[in-house]
Structure 1
Amino acid sequence: MTATPAQPYSPSVPRAHRPRRRLPRTPGPLGDALTLMALPLLAALALPAAFAGGGTRRWFGGRAESQRAEAQAAKDAAAAAFYELDTAQRDLRISIETITAVDDSPAARRAVADFDALGRRIDEASHQYISAVDAHDLDRDDLEASAAARARTELTAAKEELGRVKQELDRFTDGLGPLLGKAETQLARLAPAVERARQALLAASNALDSVRATGLKADDLAARLAALSPELTKLNQGAGQHGVPQTLERAERVTREAEAVRVEAERLPERAAEIDHRLVSLRTRAQALTTRSEQVDPILSELRRRFTVACWQDLQRVPDVASENVRRAETKLAEAHAARDEQRWADATALLSTVRALLNTTDEAVSAAGDRLHRLNAVQKDPQQEIDRTRFAIRDAQRLAMAGRNTPDPRHARPLDDAVSRLERAVATLDGRHPDYWHFLTETEAVRRAVSRVVSLIRDERGAAGH
């Protein structure tokens, strides 16, 4: 509370309960003599006044004492209300500080502004209370009944105002529940999160030490771990300096990155063995492809001799492409081997992936030449098998299109009719002295793909209708 009662009127010790100040007494016989001499004089002065209807508080009557007691009771009640409000405000300030330490959202900023406004109301009510206390000395011997009544009225009003402000403060405190709960949750997460980050860093460091003890280098992992050192320093400096949300985020990030380093370090021996195995495997495959690519020329020679240009023209560059790809693959294999020796694991892995892609391309090209000759031989010997296969696919699709219908849907019937016409045209190309068997095969494949699309469309539509 920003306003506090001025001394000496400390509400913690009401004036009526404080020891009254006494005049100093002259010690010794002289003091006793002076006291005895003063008694007759005081008595003489007091008697006329007493008989005249005046007198001290003892002779003043019961009404003033009753009003004084009521005023004192009002003062005690106001003091209790004042301290109850002060305690509640202190507790609320702790809650506000908890929220502001964690939350910078518009709702949190609005709560701070409302708390400041409520603080001004508390200051006003406190000022009214303190003014009422300072305005009336209830310990005076000559306190009149009317003054005591005014004091009781003003102190009661101050107490009631303190009570109203306390109610406002209680309502405000209840409204802070969600914000305070969220802030306390984050604060509860803070210490465990920071400790997890420290433990993750320690585990990563231990994993690196274990790997290095086996003779493997892990320089890239060590560099990544070293980059987390400034983050650990900030975590050790605490949330008071860097903020609770920022510290939580930093702790979680450090935990993730340190855990990644630990996992990679623990897997490093396995990774090295895997790279060694891939080096051997890909080198063997490259050698096998070199042998296979040498067989492409005889295949092309037979294709040229027995079939039209259209059947083999696109395969002309297969031997050269295969030879070039194998050469590049062997070069990359040598680079990967060097990277492995230098324990540049990421570079070795990337190079081996390039080698694999080159060998896959070469394998497909070399296989295409042999497959081409096989398929052309088959269709030259018996084209009817390819024709029947395609017609069966068309008829199956037509039966599906007519299932449950008197007439087919034009969206299905039209592409199926086109497929029939296209097959007939492909079959017609087989007539003649030098038929283009490769064109025939590609056309029948295209027809089957078109039919398959129609079948998928019909099934999708009927499946959707069924749902």
Structure 2
Amino acid sequence: MTARAALERLVTATTTRTRPDQSSPEPSTRRATAAARPARGTSLRDVLTLALLPVPLLAATAIATFNAGGTRRWFGGRAENQRAEAQAAKDAAAAAFYELDTAQRDLRISIETITAVDDSPAARRAVTDFEQLGRRIDEVSGQYITAVDAHDLDRDDLEASAAVRARTELTQAKDQLGRTKQDLDRFAQGLGPLLGKAETQLARLAPAVERARQSLLAATTALDATRQAGLKADDLAGRLATLGPELTKLNQGAGRHGVPETLERADRVARDAEAVRAEAERLPERAAEIDRRLVSLRTRAQALQTRAGQVDPVLSELRRRFSAACWQDLQNVPALAAENVRQAETKLAEARTAREAQRWPDATSLLSTVRALLNSTDESVSAASDRLHRLNAVAKDPQQEVDRTRFAIRDAQRLAMAGRSTPDPRHARPLDDSVARLDRALAGLEGRHPDYWHFLTETEAVRGTVARVVAQIREDRGTGA
């Protein structure tokens, strides 16, 4: 029996006891009849004494007894005091019963809120504990109902001892109801984190679903506008179509699919629809950008084709003035440049076809390939003319390159000795090796056909080593090593 059912039974029982019975005699008749009967507990001697009294005295005694309220007043004020105390205990128990029933109904709502959102072990354990408390509430409620049904405090012939028993049992029932209510309150306090999390998710549910619907509507509107501009956007339309079943599930509600799943679905639909909307709105600009890139890359390819034709004269001068080691790695530049330009023009044609078919991802990918080919060609063509320029400079004055490298070494040596009497071997050794390496590179320029390119690569490598040593010194000092 639940607390609510017990409360309804109590109300029904009370109403039944207090409903007037049309067939019963009037109250004055019931009191007269009760006065004519010997009171409960009256001894035989009292009865005989009444019987032997003279008639006038017997009548006076009966009248006095009738006027005093019948048997109810036979025991004087003590019985009435006990009745009042029992009634007070009954009222207190009823109040405790009502408080427990209200708390249980409120807590049931909290449990239903948690189970609608959370399926974690903690939530399942809370449901089990609530069911155990429910069984205990049914038990103490049943004891309370039994105590109420066992004692009719409105009886005219209620004895003092019966009133005392009623008060005792009703007080015990009230105490049990109160202790159970305290346990229920402690359990409700422990549900705080779970209930807060559940309420937060429920509060997010309606806004999340509405946001998903609005995102889908915005994506549809943007896609329609794009199509009116003459762009097909078939891939975007396909992506938007896949969100239709998801919207159907959102409309079916969290009661069917669960709150966590509905929240996750709403967030995913909103995110995907927003991506479709953004791409649809950007599609006209993307088409215009692809058109600009087609024109720009075609112009660049033509310019590189012209520049590639100038590599042969540069290689001819390199062969005439410098040793083979200075230009052998550039031999394939003209052929490679011509091939790259040819491939770039082919990819450009494919990109234009993809653009006309509005295959935007394919067009973008092809244009990226064209750009990579032209960048590689530009570097190769530039490398030949840059090589000739650098070799001319070092052949004219190699000392300038030597001084530049020695300055970098000396600057690093001063930094290594700053605040120290002896340098750290980790810094001194690579710097000393750099000095020796520079001297060997400079010595390599002696002879009939000096390898100026080797000299340039060596000095560049020495400067790179020195730069790493400087960075290590500063790092060590920054960390206090």
The alignment's TM-score, normalised by the length of structure 2, stands at 0.88
* Alignment match, 1:193: 208
- Out of 71, 87, 110, which is 1:57 matched to? 71
Aligned mates of 2:172, 2:184 — CA distance in 1 = 18
* Alignment match, 2:180: 165
Q: Is the 8 A contact 2:72 2:158 kept in 1?
A: no
How many residues matched?
Answer: 453
Q: Is the 8 A contact 1:275 1:348 kept in 2?
A: yes
Aligned mates of 2:412, 2:154 — CA distance in 1 = 112
Q: Does 1:23 align with 2:38?
A: no
* Alignment match, 1:105: 120
User: Which whole-Å deviations, capped at 9, do the CAs of 1:204-239 have from their partners, x for residues lacking one?
Assistant: 110111111111111111111111111111111111
Aligned mates of 1:149, 1:451 — CA distance in 2 = 105
Q: Does 1:412 align with 2:411?
A: no
Q: Is the 8 A contact 1:5 1:11 kept in 2?
A: no
| Cα 1:77–1:440 shift into 2, 3 Å | same
Q: Does 1:340 align with 2:355?
A: yes
- Out of 231, 235, 240, which is 1:216 matched to? 231
Residues 242-257 of structure 1: pairs in structure 2 closer than 5 A: 242-257=257-272
| Cα 1:398–1:144 shift into 2, 3 Å | same
| Aligned partner letter, 1:19 | R
Deviation (angstroms), 1:139:
3.9
Q: Does 1:305 align with 2:291?
A: no
Aligned mates of 1:9, 1:20 — CA distance in 2 = 19
Aligned mates of 1:344, 1:95 — CA distance in 2 = 54
| Aligned partner letter, 1:18 | T
Deviation (angstroms), 1:59:
5.4
- Out of 129, 135, 138, which is 1:120 matched to? 135
Aligned mates of 1:414, 1:105 — CA distance in 2 = 64
| Aligned partner letter, 1:60 | W
- Out of 340, 343, 354, which is 1:325 matched to? 340
Q: What secondary structure does 2:10 align onto?
A: coil
Q: Does 1:293 align with 2:308?
A: yes
Q: Is the 8 A contact 1:11 1:79 kept in 2?
A: no
Aligned mates of 1:177, 1:21 — CA distance in 2 = 52
| Aligned partner letter, 1:426 | A
* Alignment match, 1:83: 98
The alignment's TM-score, normalised by the length of structure 1, stands at 0.90
User: Which whole-Å deviations, capped at 9, do the CAs of 1:246-305 have from their partners, x for residues lacking one?
Assistant: 211211111111111111111111111100000000011111111111112222222222
| Cα 1:450–1:9 shift into 2, 3 Å | closer
Deviation (angstroms), 1:429:
0.7
Q: Does 1:233 align with 2:232?
A: no
* Alignment match, 1:34: none
Q: What secondary structure does 2:400 align onto?
A: helix
Aligned mates of 1:193, 1:282 — CA distance in 2 = 46
Q: What secondary structure does 1:333 align onto?
A: helix
Deviation (angstroms), 1:130:
1.6
* Alignment match, 1:29: none
Stretch of structure 1 that moved more, 70-79 or 184-193: 70-79
Deviation (angstroms), 1:73:
2.7
| Aligned partner letter, 2:2 | T
Aligned mates of 2:469, 2:33 — CA distance in 1 = 130
User: Which whole-Å deviations, capped at 9, do the CAs of 1:6-51 have from their partners, x for residues lacking one?
Assistant: 69952477469713424268xxxxxxxxxxxx99x97996599693
Q: Does 1:154 align with 2:169?
A: yes
Aligned mates of 2:35, 2:275 — CA distance in 1 = 102
Stretch of structure 1 that moved more, 168-177 or 328-337: 168-177
* Alignment match, 1:451: 466
| Cα 1:67–1:383 shift into 2, 3 Å | same
Q: Is the 8 A contact 1:190 1:248 kept in 2?
A: yes
Give the fraction of aligned pairs with identical amino acids, expressed as a percent: 75
Q: Is the 8 A contact 1:379 1:437 kept in 2?
A: yes
Aligned-residue RMSD, C-alpha: 2.7
Aligned mates of 1:4, 1:424 — CA distance in 2 = 102
Aligned mates of 1:301, 1:176 — CA distance in 2 = 88
Aligned mates of 1:359, 1:379 — CA distance in 2 = 30
Structure 2 spans left out of the alignment, 5+ residues: 39-45, 52-60
Q: Does 1:2 align with 2:16?
A: no
Aligned mates of 1:199, 1:168 — CA distance in 2 = 47
Aligned mates of 2:112, 2:258 — CA distance in 1 = 12
Deviation (angstroms), 1:445:
0.5
* Alignment match, 2:88: 73
Aligned mates of 1:95, 1:164 — CA distance in 2 = 21
User: Which whole-Å deviations, capped at 9, do the CAs of 1:323-377 have from their partners, x for residues lacking one?
Assistant: 1111111111111101100111111111101110111011111111111111111
Stretch of structure 1 that moved more, 237-246 or 272-281: 237-246
| Cα 1:141–1:20 shift into 2, 3 Å | farther
* Alignment match, 1:32: none
Aligned mates of 2:374, 2:5 — CA distance in 1 = 91
* Alignment match, 1:359: 374
| Aligned partner letter, 1:335 | E
Aligned mates of 2:271, 2:325 — CA distance in 1 = 59
| Aligned partner letter, 2:74 | F
Stretch of structure 1 that moved more, 384-393 or 145-154: 145-154
Q: Does 1:206 align with 2:205?
A: no
